[in-house]
Amino acid sequence: MATLGHPERHFAAVHIGGTNGKGSTSTMLAEMLLAAGHRVGLYTSPHLVSFRERVTVDRVPIAEDAVTVWAARLEEPAARLGATFFEVSTALAFADFAARGVEIAVVEVGLGGRLDATNVLRPMASGVTRIAVEHTEYLGPDLPSIAREKAGIAKSGTPFVTTEADAAIAEVLLAEARVRGAVAEWLDPAVSLDGVEAGPHGVRFDAVTPQGRYAGLEIGLSGAYQAQNALLAIRLAELVGPQWPVGESAMRAGLRAAHVAGRFDRRGRWIYDVAHNPDGARALVEALRSAAPPRPLVAVVAVLRDKAWKEMLQVLGGAVDRLVLTRAPSAPPERAWDLDEVAAWAQGQGLQASALPDFGAALEHAGHLGASVLVTGSFHTVGDALCRLPGAPPLG
């Protein structure tokens, strides 16, 4: 950041972390701020098809020329400092935000929080969504350890909010935030949400925050769990309101407008979801029950070998009619799962599963078998499918 003149100091920011839901929450908040008339940057990761998806200003992705210019500018200091890909990406994103005159940016944490590259920010407010077991080699062996790392984005004298549903884990988050001097707040979804109704075209619910009551809110995203993400986005919008006002009408418009590619993303009879851990798989299954897509429902699944794929397959296997196991071409070879091992295990569990190593063949096979086809297991899996099937994002 110093080599670029500290671009992260040229715009206000909100920082959002968590295991699952942080991308959806970030998008909802960005849409609310945009609906309120502010110039809004949004930084998310990873991308599905194009790197440019990660960095948008008022929904417009970073230009190809800007990527190459900033990357060239960062090449020497990155090599000298031994910077990682994500560190370079973050510096590039913040430089683009400053160059394009962003007023307020919504920034999603990459991994963890305390040591994440995005934690160079001095945000107006920060928030954490749900906590689940992930990246134990970096974040710690259990939920409390992971929660403490996630709460590492809390900053002295600034609001920190979590909508984690587990009271014990929420208390770990709050305690760590208070140690860091933050003004910590828990919105218990069981208390703050009411009347959550998930249907095939979105979610409707009521919400209560320390500042207001909101009846009949509607989200364009599918899955009842999105109400919890929306609750956090609403509270963060309230907290930045004194400087960057977001009225109730803008909140409602932002929630309706929010769309996140690859998050229960229905395109005809194809459904794409980047669920990449058991918690994500359970949320996906809940969304499938609400949406009730035509049967038979066939799932094309490719999970990275270092994920909890056994638990994921058990969760998914109970909700679909057949699993087609494959490998995502863009997945790092050293992280690709062993299809023979996976197929043998799945069949040993009594799951209706077959294995096709060729990704294109797996998609074609599932398309012939199912009235509806789900593609899931990782960002690699969904991104690779979107590149091959109709309805790919415009950046492809």
Band of pLDDT at residue 141, cut at 50, 70 and 90: confident
Asked if pLDDT for residue 280 goes beyond 80, the answer is yes
Q: Which of 202, 225, 257 is the last residue of a domain?
A: 257
- Same domain? 37 vs 62: yes
What CA–CA distance (Å, rounded) separates 126 from 245?
17
Domain annotation covers residue 136: yes
Write out the residue range of the structural domain in which residue 332 sits: 265-388
Percent of the chain with pLDDT over 90: 91
* Model pLDDT, residue 393: 45
Domain annotation covers residue 294: yes
Q: Which of 228, 257, 286 is the last residue of a domain?
A: 257
Average pLDDT of the chain?
Answer: 95
- Same domain? 186 vs 275: no
H/E element, 265: strand 265-267
* Model pLDDT, residue 245: 98
- Same domain? 250 vs 369: no
Q: Which of 200, 229, 257 is the last residue of a domain?
A: 257
- Same domain? 251 vs 269: no
- The residue ranking higher by pLDDT, 239 or 220, is 239
Residues 6+ apart with CB under 8 A from 60: none
**What DSSP string describes 90-153?**
HHHHHHHHHHTT-SEEEEE-SSSSTT-GGGG---SEEEE-B-----HHHH-SSHHHHHHHHGGG
- Same domain? 252 vs 271: no
- Same domain? 63 vs 211: yes
138-147 mean pLDDT:
89
- Same domain? 200 vs 319: no
Asked if pLDDT for residue 220 goes beyond 60, the answer is yes
Domain annotation covers residue 204: yes
For the four alpha carbons of 84, 86, 87 and 92, in that order, the dihedral sign comes to positive
- Same domain? 148 vs 79: yes
Asked if pLDDT for residue 21 goes beyond 90, the answer is yes
* Model pLDDT, residue 199: 82
Distance of CA 214 to the CA centre of its chain: 24
Q: Are 38 and 68 in contact (CB under 8 A)?
A: no
Asked if pLDDT for residue 395 goes beyond 60, the answer is no
- Same domain? 283 vs 213: no
Domain annotation covers residue 393: no
* Model pLDDT, residue 8: 98
Give the domain CATH number at 224: 3.40.1190.10
What CA–CA distance (Å, rounded) separates 382 from 378?
6
* Model pLDDT, residue 88: 98
What CA–CA distance (Å, rounded) separates 133 from 188?
20
List alpha helices for the chain, DSSP H: 22-35, 64-81, 85-99, 136-139, 143-150, 167-179, 189-192, 226-240, 248-257, 278-291, 309-317, 339-348, 359-369, 379-388
75-101 mean pLDDT:
97
Band of pLDDT at residue 159, cut at 50, 70 and 90: very high
Domain annotation covers residue 64: yes
78-82, 88-92, 130-134, 336-340, range with the lowest pLDDT: 130-134
Give the domain CATH number at 316: 3.90.190.20
Domain annotation covers residue 108: yes
Among candidate residues 347, 379, 374, 350, the one with its CA nearest the CA of residue 362: 374
Q: Are 292 and 200 in contact (CB under 8 A)?
A: yes
pLDDT digits 0-9 by tens, 375-390: 999 999 999 999 887 5
- Same domain? 240 vs 311: no
Cα angle at 298 between 292 and 299, to 5 degrees? Answer: 100
- Same domain? 305 vs 252: no
H/E element, 328: none
83-101 mean pLDDT:
98
pLDDT digits 0-9 by tens, 303-329: 999 999 999 999 999 999 999 999 999
Cα angle at 26 between 162 and 211, to 5 degrees? Answer: 50
Pair of tokens at residue 373: 């086809």
Asked if pLDDT for residue 139 goes beyond 90, the answer is no
The model's pTM? 0.93
- The residue ranking higher by pLDDT, 393 or 180, is 180
Structural domains of the chain, count: 2
Residues 6+ apart with CB under 8 A from 141: none
- Same domain? 190 vs 298: no
pLDDT digits 0-9 by tens, 241-255: 999 999 999 999 999
pLDDT digits 0-9 by tens, 189-200: 999 999 999 987
Band of pLDDT at residue 363, cut at 50, 70 and 90: very high
b (16+ CB within 10 A) / e for 141-180: eebbebbbbbbbbbbeebbbbbbbeeeebbbbbbebbeeb
Cα distance from N-terminal residue to C-terminal residue, the chain: 30
Q: Are 26 and 137 in contact (CB under 8 A)?
A: no
Query: Which amino acid is located at 85 in the chain?
Result: F
Band of pLDDT at residue 70, cut at 50, 70 and 90: very high
* Model pLDDT, residue 138: 76
pLDDT digits 0-9 by tens, 117-136: 999 999 999 999 999 887 77
Asked if pLDDT for residue 71 goes beyond 90, the answer is yes
H/E element, 295: none
Distance of CA 360 to the CA centre of its chain: 26
* Model pLDDT, residue 133: 81
Helix (H, G, I), strand (E, B) or coil at 189: helix
Domain annotation covers residue 213: yes
Q: Are 173 and 151 in contact (CB under 8 A)?
A: yes
- 298: left (phi > 0), else alpha (psi -120 to 50), else beta? beta
* Model pLDDT, residue 227: 97
Helix (H, G, I), strand (E, B) or coil at 301: strand
* Model pLDDT, residue 389: 78
* Model pLDDT, residue 391: 52
pLDDT digits 0-9 by tens, 170-183: 999 999 999 999 99
Tokens 């400092």: give the residue. Answer: 81
